[in-house]
Chain A
């Protein structure tokens, strides 16, 4: 049987081009080089280390102080204000600045190795994701310097988080700092999706793809669908706080619950966004350490996809106590419980693999077993809180604190430890001490149970969450004291981990390429891997290539010649292979972006907008926007290809595969597709707010406000239609090589669209009601301006296309940006028509 560990790994070749390519793919030296770095190793490590840094800075100190405060009743170790800041920070940091970036770092670091490719598809986007995450985190933390520390919980419920009840800047730091970090999370998600779908080694069909990649594929899509509504929700909250809109003001047509819906549409999927990557790690560790291929591979894939979908249908189970009708309540209870089935499938697939294999007791397996025990317990209490009547007791009590920590520490933290013990030696080249690893595990496992198990009981006895103290005599004392002791045991466990890291760094005991006898591609590379990971891209014919394949270079004749050739050519630019989505057939060879300062500058522009809003410097926001536009232009500026079209053609002829030094066609198309998806989700989130507010209000528009006349918008719409038509014509012309036709078409598009936006914009400026008059006015103006901003973005892109057309940048072969902008125009027009249709036509429907 092939599941028996193989003494002979597949042959791995080290071609003479290794050092040349390693050099080519290295980030430039020096400080400036570090700022320009885009290489996936660097970005991945930075994300993980920064996440860990934020965990130490916020997540862990907070919990120790909180548990000290709650060790005894009526304690006054900390003031109520400080306590509220601590638990707000603890939740916000762990949910936004720790788990997600660490996992995205895992993905960016490991995916190229696991998938058998050299780089992520958009290295500069990865750098941008890192810098926005870092700057967002720092902006959030800078609240401390201004003594305006967020104190309304990680959920920031309105109206408590509104201006009336939180008048200082604390909530603005929360909204804006984390908002920047959310932008980074989305950018990294786009990067992850495309790498998994388009950058796999030849032969790695979807069914041969490792479960780790599946987990991140589903997760990254969920990030896109979940974080976008949160960004929109945060924007509405900030509009209320900074611009006097009325979305959440109950006295002017706003709603106290709209925020909760927007927040939990993000917040519940967020739990699975954190959990699925963890299962991806577990599904890699179990086969290796049980020396057995995963049982039920397809079942696991199916259940991850199912969890991804289901998790968006059960947000309201966080809102059972707001007074939902029984019908709504039972629907969400049922939906929440159904998720136990895909979760159960995963658990039993792991159990089946454990039954079928023989364990090798390394630290990663120990953490995996600990994960299973803790997560199943947390899952069982999860089914309980999905039961509406029981949740009415458990909700916002310490029972839920217990439940969520079992799920997040057991279900997410333990797999992270398993992953670090599993992969760190590969990345550093130095082994970790297995005996210390076992101490680390047992102390942590005991600590988690001592700290969190008693919380189930004290919660059901009536202890609410988020209280800075509690009275004596209610029988809560002992349980709280035990929990406090437990937290110190956890700290000791983490201490052992840190010691182990330091010792590994000091002792420098080198590890072999494949110390665990693991089956997946990354273990065929040296420890640590080369910058470009693969000189000769591997060819995959099995889910477990290192167990099943004799070598990594055998496939179809064409593939063999292609990967061989890619080991020799090109040596002057960063070439990667894109493969087809389902079958991983080679599709094109393209050039990925190299080191660049522009991602940093663009990230800086992004954070400037948010920081300017914080300081109420509205001109600063314009400056930030200008920096972003300049940054994006510099980032995408076409630089002279390091080879001629003839050289491209030669390789194309030899290997029957397009070579695109100007950037990939398919990958860029996917990138634009995901950007359109982002715009679409943001648009739908605003529509959701529109219809929620509309149903919440007896009259729409409210008394005193008339439906505005649609005439101006109708004429603007006609112009936008002309613009879309013009752009399409231009695109068709350049496909035939007609550069003048492109110029005419895009020129018409530019002028017509400008006219349309000016007409619609001046109509909006002249409206008789403002965004501050009633929630109707707020949502009307917000949706309208959103549409105009999307169209303006299309106009800016069109202007650049016109400019580059004049300079003769485009040809029949090289015009990827034109078709991408055409794609964006489609989205912009759909948003325009539906958006203005909702604003001007639907009020007549009632």
Chain B
């Protein structure tokens, strides 16, 4: 697994930049206030000369206790409002619409206008707004890609809309930010921002149905998939498998991780994951699948063709 985790310190889009600017401003103000406070505290404790009684105390209270915080807070509030206005709450024009549904503990991702269904990883074109429509199938989750912007909750009874944009290419990772049960820690999501061309390429790849098995081994693999419990929960477009409890696997091989960030997606891990998901992510709905070695080999070989 490899996410570029610059975090909110290192913004890669307009929303995150806006927030980062606000943060550096508040950090500067906060540091100045703290330095002033420390100076007053230490000087006050160190003063050994005889005091001119309480003469200045009213100014101390009024200036330090009321005016200082009032000024600081007014400035912070003004910049807060400015940032809130600068951060879009609806897309300007022609956004890419992505519907993200939180599940315990993975992300269902759909591009309704493009006819794409996938899970846990998605792509966005550089320099264009994306409109994320967030909702949940079970408990409350929270969507957060720190390099691109702030977080927003996925609720079971509302759809929240988040507008984001990436200005630099990269993989932007994040994790579910609202405690959602046992495997809350293993619920990663990532967005890959690419040039419009390579985004379009990815889209047409995702739109296509799954590639048909091309040899005996993969043919066998598809059979295993259909005859065992896999198809009860997973879909592979272009085959009879149409379960909708778990992630869509039509283009599984194009994804970089398994189990919402638990394992890198490679042959060995895929076999491991299928036979013992409960070892890697205890408590998820997917049971350990008991297959013979030959069945597992065929199944993995088939799934690896699903580019």
Contact = CB atoms under 8 A, between A and B. Distances in A.
Interface in B114-158: 138-140, 142, 144, 146-147, 149-153, 155-158
B181 A384 contact: no
B184 to A, nearest CB: 6
B150 to A, nearest CB: 2
B92 interface: no
A395 B151 contact: yes
A389 B26 contact: no
Nearest to B180: A160
A383 B26 contact: yes
Given A256-B155, A323-B160, A348 B26 contact: no
Interface in A208-263: 250, 255-257
A474 B73 contact: no
A538 B139 CA distance: 59
Contact of B23 (A348, A355, A383, A460): A460
A381 B30 CA distance: 8
B231 to A, nearest CB: 26
Contacts of B77: 333-334, 337, 387
Contact of B69 (A343, A349, A391, A465): A343
Contacts of A250: 156-157
Nearest to B176: A464
B40 A355 contact: yes
A346 B66 CA distance: 10
Interface string A75-86: 000011100100
B246 interface: no
A271 B176 CA distance: 26
B65 A341 contact: yes
A393 B23 contact: yes
A633 interface: no
A475 interface: yes
Nearest to A381: B30
B160 A80 contact: no
B80 A322 contact: no
A323 B158 contact: yes
B2 interface: yes
Interface in B44-103: 44-45, 47-48, 51, 53-54, 56-57, 60-61, 63-66, 68-70, 72-73, 76-77, 79-81, 83-84, 87, 89
A84 B180 CA distance: 10
Contact of A348 (B61, B146, B174, B175): B61
A1 B52 CA distance: 12
B142 A396 contact: yes
A464 B186 CA distance: 11
Nearest to B161: A323
A71 B294 CA distance: 41
Contact of A462 (B30, B65, B80, B175): B175
A321 B139 contact: no
B282 interface: yes
Interface stretch (A54-62, A371-379, A802-810): A371-379
A391 B26 CA distance: 12
A322 B135 CA distance: 11
A620 to B, nearest CB: 31
B205 to A, nearest CB: 27
Interface in B258-298: 261, 282-283
Contacts of A384: 23, 26, 30, 76
Contacts of B156: 159, 250, 256
A347 B155 contact: no
Interface in A494-527: none
A340 interface: yes
A151 B33 CA distance: 39
A785 interface: no
A358 interface: yes
A461 B7 contact: yes
B81 A467 contact: no
Contacts of B184: 84, 466-468
Contacts of A473: 1-2
A630 interface: no
B174 A389 contact: no
A169 interface: no
A392 B152 contact: yes
Interface string A1-16: 1000000000000000
Interface in A452-471: 460-462, 464-471
A330 B80 contact: yes
A776 to B, nearest CB: 15
A171 interface: no
A295 B9 contact: no
A637 interface: no
B175 A160 contact: no
A296 interface: yes
A475 B5 contact: yes
B254 interface: no
Interface string B167-187: 000000111111111111100
B305 interface: no
Contacts of B1: 471, 473
A322 B157 CA distance: 11
A153 interface: yes
B217 interface: no
A711 interface: no
A343 B3 CA distance: 41
Interface in A271-306: 295-296, 299, 303
B179 A157 contact: yes
Nearest to A84: B182
A702 interface: no
Given A341-B66, A354-B45, A460 B8 contact: yes
Contacts of B56: 352, 355
Given A256-B140, A348-B61, A340 B7 contact: no
A396 B177 contact: yes
Contact of B139 (A159, A334, A474): A159
Contacts of B158: 256, 323
A160 B179 contact: yes
Contacts of B233: none
B174 A462 contact: yes
A299 B38 contact: no
A464 B177 contact: yes
A565 interface: no
A357 to B, nearest CB: 8
B22 interface: yes
B84 to A, nearest CB: 6
B53 A356 contact: yes
Nearest to B18: A389
A701 interface: no
Contacts of A359: 45
A116 interface: no
A467 B186 CA distance: 8
A747 interface: no
Given A160-B140, A348-B64, A349-B61, A256 B69 contact: no
Nearest to A79: B282
Contact of A326 (B89, B147, B176, B181): B89
Contacts of B64: 344, 347-348, 351-352
A321 B151 contact: yes
Task: Enumerate the 10 nearest inter-chain pairs by beta-carbon distance, A residue then B residue, closest first.
Answer: A392-B150, A345-B65, A461-B7, A467-B185, A348-B65, A344-B69, A348-B64, A250-B157, A323-B160, A462-B146
21 contacts: A84-B179, A84-B182, A159-B138, A159-B140, A321-B142, A340-B72, A341-B66, A355-B47, A356-B57, A376-B33, A376-B37, A390-B83, A392-B149, A392-B152, A396-B142, A396-B179, A460-B23, A462-B146, A462-B174, A467-B184, A470-B185
Interface of B: 1-3, 5, 7-9, 16, 18-19, 22-23, 26, 30, 33-34, 37-38, 40-41, 43-45, 47-48, 51, 53-54, 56-57, 60-61, 63-66, 68-70, 72-73, 76-77, 79-81, 83-84, 87, 89, 104, 138-140, 142, 144, 146-147, 149-153, 155-158, 160, 173-185, 188, 261, 282-283
